[in-house]
Chains A and B, each alone.
Chain A
Amino acid sequence: MPEVFVEKLSNFADGDRRIVFHDGLEIGVFHWKGSFFAYQNLCLHQGGPCCEGVIMNKVEDVLGPDKTWRGQRFDENEAHFICPWHGYEYDIKTGECVGNRSLRLKSYQTIRRGEDLYVVAG
């Protein structure tokens, strides 16, 4: 399996991302809360560059104990990256499509070698 250089760790801040290209394949690598996650940069909807969209936390409704709606908030524990073409949202930690979690982006292993980060493109 080819290992593709992603970035020097010193240049890859938490919260940032890189898109790497290898033999026609595009992989989005996210540095998120101390971990690295890598997914194919190909939206399951119409093939958009899903890993290149904005990152936003999950939106959730806030209900009172009596089941009345009290408002909305962002879930600080779940972040999504969002395909810039049409808005399909993916869980940054799993690659699952949050509208239907049975759909999941192809994921890739990342490897640290010294000060460098690689992704296994296969």
Chain B
Amino acid sequence: MEVQPNDFRRMSEEEFDTTKLLAHASRQARERGYEKFPIVDVDSHHYETESMSEILEYLDDPVLKQVALASFKPNAKNARLMNTMVGYQDMGGRIPRYGLRSLEKAPAGKELRDTTLTKRWMDAVGVDVAVLFPTPMLALGVHPQVEIEIALSRAYNRWLCERVLAHEPRLVSMLYLPFNDPDATYEFVKEFSDKKGVVGFLITSTRYRPVHANQYMKTYALLEEMGLPIAFHGSYHWHDQAQGMLNRFISVHALGFVWYNMIHLANWIINGIPERFPKLKVMWLESGLAWIPFMMQRFDNEYMMRTSEAPALKKLPSDYMRDMFWASQPMEVTDMGLLEQTMRVIKAETQLVYSSDYPHWDFDLPSTIYDLPFLSDAAKRNILGGNADKLFKLNLTGKKLANVP
């Protein structure tokens, strides 16, 4: 078999440059006139492990810090503080940026490399403000040591707030909550909610804690009082016994990223959390859109027969879902008719928010929304930026921050 070397714009591996990789996206931005309205990306990522030596400096516990620093030394081959997921998102090298982006150069100087590289792709695709999330830490919810989840996520949150969000107005985040410990979850909201660039809080969905447990009510109440949204971010887990029956990554990815959000959404609604916290804004990230009409129909149908098992509800499950916010990526586009109906039932014009998931393999460009033939111009602008602007109180009021090359 013959495998060609990377051939992006005749870049050598050492010259890998996101601006060049995304040159066609920049052309889309210019041709579609993205300079006329703000674009907010509610779910994007960086690789926090590339900054881990800095992040670990924010650990409080001196013993854990010593173990952590030792485990990240180059010669610590058998030391793993962080759990990792089995899988191959790079498709066996078919998506070359997975390997190459770690080699990408950023000018040394005042700005953090993470910030520079993030703004580089934002500019290339025309995104003005991005909600930034980690990548490997999406799996921390199934770490066997709850205290490690708490310590690492607190260190990450502190690093993100101090080193990134405090300096770059185009980057905001919904901060990681260590949901396996309800008390620590509550404390995190109190500790970080007033930090610059914190626009909400995130639950990485891959975990085994039911969202209706009484211990979480104080956190939901606090978030509702603060007016900050809570978001559930999908992921996969090949060690899950059910997903373990799937033998290909395509299957684990397709189902895994929806599976945990389906469970959390079911518990959230059937236990009447929306009735208990009617002003709490809830978001669902990185599960795409196709699962939503399924959940609406499935639970409406059963609720009409088994109403007594969900006595807290005052309306149909789908009616509560229509009050929630949905991130678009990875938007299933192989049947435009189904997609149009999905957008109709979720009230996309006010409830859908664009997300890219960049730099991950299944990212969506703003054109995935902009080019939809059945949306009005007003709806497109709401989905691409207006809805998120309002939800996160960004006050962009038409400001353009992206510098499309």
Q: Is the CB of A57 within 8 A of B1?
A: yes
Return chain A residues, CB-CB under 8 Å to B24. Answer: 42, 47-49
| Chain B residues closer than 8 Å to A48, beta-carbon distance | 24
The residue from A47, A52, A55 contacting B3, defined by CB atoms under 8 A apart: A55
CB-CB contacts below 8 Å: A49-77 with B: 49, 52-57, 74, 76
Q: How far is the CB of A37 from chain B (nearest CB, A)?
A: 14
* Of the residues B10, B23, B94, B365, contact of A53 by C-beta under 8 Å: B94
Beta-carbon nearest neighbor of A100 in chain B = B334
Contact yes or no, A54 B9, CB < 8 A: no
Measured between C-beta atoms, what is the minimum distance from A102 to chain B in Å? 12
Task: Indicate whether B4 reaches chain A with its CB closer than 8 angstroms.
Answer: yes
Indicate if the CB atoms of B3 and A56 lie closer than 8 Å: yes
Q: Which residues of B contact A86 (CB under 8 A)?
A: 95, 361-363
Residues of A in contact (CB 8 Å), total 23
A54 touches B363 (CB 8 A): no
Residues of B within 8 A of A53 (CB): 7, 94, 96
Q: Which of B9, B93, B361, B364 contacts A46 (CB 8 A)?
A: B364
Does A4 touch B at the CB level, under 8 Å? no
Q: Which label, helix, strand, loop or mixed, suits the secondary structure of the B interface?
A: loop
Q: Is B97 an interface residue (CB 8 A)?
A: yes
Query: With the chains together, A17 CA to B24 CA distance in Å?
Result: 19
Interface pair A15/B23, CB less than 8 Å apart: no
Tell whether A87 is near chain B: CB-to-CB under 8 Å.
Answer: yes
CB distance from B41 to the nearest CB of A (A): 15
CB of A82 closer than 8 Å to a CB of B: yes
Distance A57 CA – B9 CA, assembled complex (angstroms): 22
Contacts of B363 in A (CB 8 A): 85-86
Q: Is A79 an interface residue (CB 8 A)?
A: yes
- 8 A Cβ contacts from B121-173 to A: none
A57 / chain B contacts, CB cutoff of 8 Å: 1-2
Q: Once the chains bind, are B21 and A84 in contact (CB under 8 Å)?
A: yes
> Which residues of chain A are within 8 angstroms of B313 by Cβ–Cβ distance?
none
CB-defined contacts of A85 to chain B, threshold 8 Å = 21, 95, 363
What CA separation (Å) do A84 and B8 show in the bound complex? Answer: 9
Which B50-105 residues have a C-beta within 8 angstroms of A? 91, 93-97
Give the chain A neighbours of B7 by CB distance below 8 A.
17, 52-53
A-B contacts, 20 of them at CB < 8 A, read: A15-B4, A19-B9, A46-B364, A47-B365, A49-B9, A49-B23, A49-B24, A53-B7, A53-B94, A54-B4, A55-B2, A57-B2, A76-B1, A84-B6, A84-B97, A85-B363, A86-B362, A87-B91, A87-B94, A87-B95
